[in-house]
Amino acid sequence: MMLGVIRRRVASGGSSASVFGQSFQASRPVVSTSRVSSIAEKEVLLQPRGFGQVRNFGHLVVPGCSGSLRPMREVVASIQREATMQMLSRPFSSDNGDLVDAVVPFMGESITDGTLASFLKNPGDRVEVDEPIAQIETDKVTIDVTSPEAGVIQKFVAKEGETVEPGTKIAIISKSAEGVAPVAPSEKASEKAVSQPSPPSEKSEEKQKPKVETASVTAKPKAPSTPPPKRSATEPQLPPKERERRVPMTRLRKRVATRLKDSQNTFALLTTFNEVDMTNLMKLRSDYKDAFVEKHGVKLGLMSGFVKAAVSGLQNQPIINAVIDGDDIIYRDYVDISIAVGTPKGLVVPVIRNAEKMNFAEIEKEINTLAKKANDGSISIDEMAGGSFTISNGGVYGSLLSTPIINPPQSAILGMHSIVSRPMVVGGNIVPRPMMYIALTYDHRLIDGREAVFFLRRIKDVVEDPRRLLLDI
């Protein structure tokens, strides 16, 4: 009935606000003065259900005052926007704003997960903003998980060895250090002592019982049994299992193993060898090492000479710098040299970009920078991605000769080895010369022996006479 009255009054020209306000007042005729004053102090937001045309309006009813009209949709939208802004303003905070979560950061486009290798802090330790608290080991690099705020680590919610993804929460940090009780070593020792099951008296009784039982058993006559079989003289004597240790492989080691095995299964690997007289390159370094350091701030090494020689060889034999992709051959018009670096955690291969545009000093600086990052674990994935040709220097470990394995998806790899003084025939005379064996492993599906030998011969010519680089011959 009230709905009909409202509709008729609205149709006759009255405003919906006044009509609805009057109807509300008419429906509640008896209101005391104190009740009116209490209503006037609060906003009463009405949302009648089933009111048809009136259901989209919220009316602020204050007896004795003029009514205000606001669309209900605007009210709800403003409330939702406020709540959303409050949620976004504290992305890692708990309800009280004191706790923040340390999560796994973004690890790279090609990396979807990693292994929680170790925690660098303990619960109860004080940490600063961006201070590393844990390390995530991936297929390529080790990534630090840093603290988003300064505070005290309350607890860890992940365990070492677990597989984690970007955004996974691993620790909770209290900014005010409330509710954090660091465990002292004495407390840990007492906990271990309490956790021991039984007192010594019970243990002694348990030990005595088996002795009584065994004594009674030994008193009985033994049944005749067959003697144990004797080992043959040729049967190997295996060491006891107690002298072995089983350690899980790291993700980096598993990734290296997979890629090298894929290389062996995919490529038609073939290796060709040559030897290089290092006399002239070593003399060049000896003559200009002081001036080189003074001008460029970096030492002149042998690796830059081999990188320049490899660039020259790749430009003369472009097929060495190419790669098979399905039924096509991709020729690269750039030279990105990958340098294999052995680290305590495994083999990494940082890349020298656009080596054909770099001089000796730029190459040496880039090699030193990448090698330092690789050894301290701060090298990024982008610095190891790509590469069109690899150089591996096993000579730094004393290797005399080896057959390196191709780094997919490349097509060849150059192996350097140790420098050994050997007797060589020079001008009809036998003289000692510093010699190095070099090896080129290549994909025989793409590269023929002719191109491979020509490439290795170019390396030999440039290293033995660096003046060829100046004259381009």
Whole-number CA gyration radius for the chain: 40
Please state, in angstroms and as integers, the Cα–Cα distance from residue 281 to each residue in 130, 277, 332, 361, following that order.
Answer: 46, 9, 29, 15
The Cα 207–Cα 222 span in angstroms is 24
Of 448, 461, 465, 472, catalytic: 448
Cα dihedral 76, 78, 81, 87 sign: negative
Q: How is residue 471 written in tokens?
A: 């004259």
CB neighbour class for 152 (10 Å; exposed up to 12, middle 13-18, buried from 19): buried
Of 113, 144, 444, 465, catalytic: 444
Report yes or no: 261 and 251 within 8 Å, Cβ to Cβ: no
The Cα 388–Cα 377 span in angstroms is 23
Q: How is residue 371 written in tokens?
A: 């090698």
- The amino acid occupying position 219 is A
Our answer to whether residue 336 is catalytic in this structure is: no
Q: How is residue 394 written in tokens?
A: 């096993």
Nearest to 310 by CA among 286, 302, 405, 323: 302
The Cα 30–Cα 1 span in angstroms is 20
Which contiguous run of DSSP H or E holds residue 200?
Answer: helix 200-219
Our answer to whether residue 59 is catalytic in this structure is: no
Report the catalytic residues: 444, 448
